[in-house]
Structure 1
Amino acid sequence: MAILVDPPRWPAHGTVWAHLVSDTSLVELHAFARSNGVPRRAFDLDHYDVPAERIDDLVEAGAERVEGRVLLSRLRGSGLRVRGADRADETARRRRAELAGRWAALVDEPPPGWAELGEELIARWSEPHRRYHDLVHLHDVLRHLDDLGDDGEEVTRSVRLAAWFHDAVYDGVPGVDEEASAMLAEDRLRTVGVPAAEVTEVSRLVRLTAGHSPGPDDPAGAALCDADLAILAAAPARYRIYGSAVRAEYAHVPDADFRRGRAAVLADLLGHDRLFTTAAGFRRWEQRARENIAAELGALQS
């Protein structure tokens, strides 16, 4: 039983990265990562990506340095290796499983119909016409809420429920989709016995995502809107995937019209004093989001 780390050889984000694995179990790997401050978002199916500057600390904590071929051989021998050909399917399977677990964790004692409602929402977010507003986006928003909560922002159950419902109805009609999603939340949450005041708050938050303009005294709205917009601060490669997915959702719009409309949206975003309202969101995402938006806007205008 061992935690293994190979030499750092993969450059990205201004550093060089190595792989951290277990040759026995993912439980052991996650426990080691957690106890040594390696964030869960660095986990990629069968390994953690760790920057070169962390390797000495991880070895001191008990990880074993090995060559890359040795790490791969022992990972395969453990049965934990996820082959390249299987990674997309395995990623999707684990995402759905994690989302089901997150939904279940929102209540201490699931009322009748709670699990079925979670299944309905996952099915809605899996609709085939979605390209950006899909399960990946839902998963991202919930993880971004985790990040904000870890940084001290208030993230209530109402905020998390609103994240589940905020694009549960998606037909590509801004404003109309948010209203329909809010009405769905009102209907379904009442049915499973969520208190009336919380249902009202969830539907308010869902409607707020139509404009992403929370008031100064609305920490719940600020957290949800910041988490929803955090994709704007993605790494450049991921941001390009996001842009392509948005374009795919508007495939029915002629290219020239889409470019004009998208450019107008981006210019409006850059005109805001702040894209992110929470202190943690501003610190985490503001600068990189502005860089991404400016680069995309320049490409559209050229």
Structure 2
Amino acid sequence: MSADVRFTHFKSDKQPTWCPGCGDFGTMNGMMKALANTGNDPDNTFVVAGIGCSGKIGTYMHSYALHGVHGRALSVGIGTKLANPNLEVMVAGGDGDGYSIGAGHFIHAVRRNVDMSYIVMDNRIYGLTKGQASPTSREDFETSTTPDGPKQPPVNPLALALAAGGTFIAQSFSSDAQRHTEIVQQAVEHDGFGFVNVYSPCVTFNDVDTYDYFRDSIVDLQENNHDPTDYDDAKDAILDADKEYQGIIYRDENSTPWEQREGLTENMADIPDGAPDDAMDLVREFY
């Protein structure tokens, strides 16, 4: 079966309710293409999401899925992967869900290095609740609740991941379809926790971090003689506040996933006899 055919298998019949032009459309398409390119199928894929504009992404993708509570998606994803190591687990979230209430889970997920991927749609604003400043908003970003800006530096999720011992740290742009797909695919293929922060513009509430801004600002590390296996190079790129980088920022080629280190190879999930063959349809209908 070709990757193009598998890609269509990941498309749900549910129509997204995102604003027209939302960056999450491109982010999700890249996720589905990456899963298809790596040979995965819906029946061996589990997508977890938290709260925010990205929260219903599992509804829009044809796979096992769970729409969880705010900031806890990584906990569900880790538990699922450890219960059934044979599943391809992909967690999706936003900058608010992942770097605010979910920041503690993020740090510990990175350091555990479970073999899964985490895709964060970073639009630098709280879009679902109508435009408040998020952890990654600029210090002078004016909103209805921060008319003079947050007056605090934005969270640097890449720096947090590197400091926590991340083994795969990357950044992509939802509008650069081919490059975004390549980066997510490498995160899926990585032996360990594959983290990708995605520039995913909010066209409704953020008129600063726009498509045009990112197109004009992004520097692709692949074209910049960057060595993703060099820790110091990665640190320099991450701490360069004047650049918006795209690409694989850091990759530990000797990464050993947590479950391999602990000898966890068997499926711990106890599937009862007589479980319905159409369980996936029942799960999707429920959510």
TM-score over 0.5 for the alignment?
no
Larger strand proportion, structure 1 or 2? 2
TM-score, length-normalised on structure 1?
Answer: 0.31
Tell which has more relative contact order, 1 or 2 (C-alpha 8 A, sep 6+).
2
Larger helix proportion, structure 1 or 2? 1
Which entry has the higher C-alpha Rg, 1 or 2?
1
TM-score, length-normalised on structure 2?
Answer: 0.32
